[in-house]
Amino acid sequence: MDRRESMKSMLLGSLAGGLVINGCAPDKTPEAPVAPAEAGVYGRTDEEKARDQKLMEGEFFTEPEIGTIATLCDLILPATQDFGSATEAGVPEFIAFIVKDITAYQTPLRGGLMWLNHRANKKFAKGFNDCSETQQKELLDEIAYPEKASPEVAQGVDFFSRMRDLTLTGYYTSKMGIEELGYVGNRPNVWDGVPDDVLQQYGMEYEEEWLAKCVDQSKRDVLAEWDDDGNLIT
């Protein structure tokens, strides 16, 4: 399993118990956030609509900060042969919205960006975005693996972990990310039983009588009937 597949698995594991970002509303997509009042979303109070509009109009990050965030996002999830990068999926815009919606993210992220630039200046005498990609990756290698990181970079470790979570959440809840996951949602289908290779793997097999009664798709609209002893009739 390659690095990107591993990160997808990490995200899917977290999705099983809820999104990494609990405050992210499903109608606010990373590519183009739209105020609910404009999007035709009903059932919100005037106060909620006013707050939404304020969030959409305001800005927290400066342009240089957004530039650094975009660089980080694409280092975490670069483009592949089949899918675009995190920035192409609108992840920086997603993060910019999240810090306005969940203000508890503001200080850790701005402080983390300051730390990253300070670290880059200390090692390479220039800001993070002015470093070469090789130098940027060298800096991130110091903070990307918490179990290996030195106490000296503890703040950077916390910052990068937060950025990685936000990047994965933003990307894999975008249209592009959902397409990469192959998620199709709930769709009607025809079930023809557990595949033979899976049955063989566990040393199991279907009884022919049950196959005829339960996995015959020509009878899919026929209601099951049971006798008094609990045996399936049809």
User: Can you give the pLDDT at residue 9?
Assistant: 60
Of residues 5, 23, 55, the one with CA closest to residue 180: 5
User: Can you give the pLDDT at residue 131?
Assistant: 96
For residue 224, the 8-state DSSP code is: P
On the CB side of 81, CA atoms within 13 Å amount to: 0
| pTM greater than the 0.75 cutoff | no
For residue 226, the 8-state DSSP code is: B
Residue 138 reports pLDDT greater than 90:
yes
More confident residue, 49 or 39: 49
Mean per-residue pLDDT, 43-48: 83
CB environment 103-122: b (16+ within 10 A), e (fewer) = eebeeebbebbebbbebbee
Average model confidence (pLDDT) across the chain = 82
Token representation of residue 200? 């063989």
User: Can you give the pLDDT at residue 6?
Assistant: 58
- What are the sequence ranges of the domains in the chain? 3-181, 189-234
Classify residue 56 by burial, with Cβ atoms within 10 Å: 0-12, 13-18, 19+.
middle
Distance from C-alpha of 86 to C-alpha of 75, rounded to nearest angstrom: 9
Mean per-residue pLDDT, 145-151: 93
Of residues 144, 141, 175, the one with CA closest to residue 162: 144
- Which of 181-185, 190-194, 196-200 shows the lowest mean pLDDT across its residues? 190-194
Distance from C-alpha of 32 to C-alpha of 89, rounded to nearest angstrom: 10
Mean per-residue pLDDT, 179-190: 79
- Per-residue pLDDT reduced to its tens digit, 57-111: 889 999 999 999 999 999 999 998 889 999 999 999 999 999 999 999 999 999 9
Mean per-residue pLDDT, 141-151: 94
| Residue 134 identity (one-letter amino acid) | T
- The values of phi and psi at residue 148, to 5°, are -110, -10
- Per-residue pLDDT reduced to its tens digit, 26-37: 444 444 444 444
User: Can you give the pLDDT at residue 56?
Assistant: 82
| Residue 16 identity (one-letter amino acid) | A
Contacts of residue 20, defined as CB under 8 A and 6 or more positions apart, other chains included, come to 11, 14, 165, 166, 168, 169
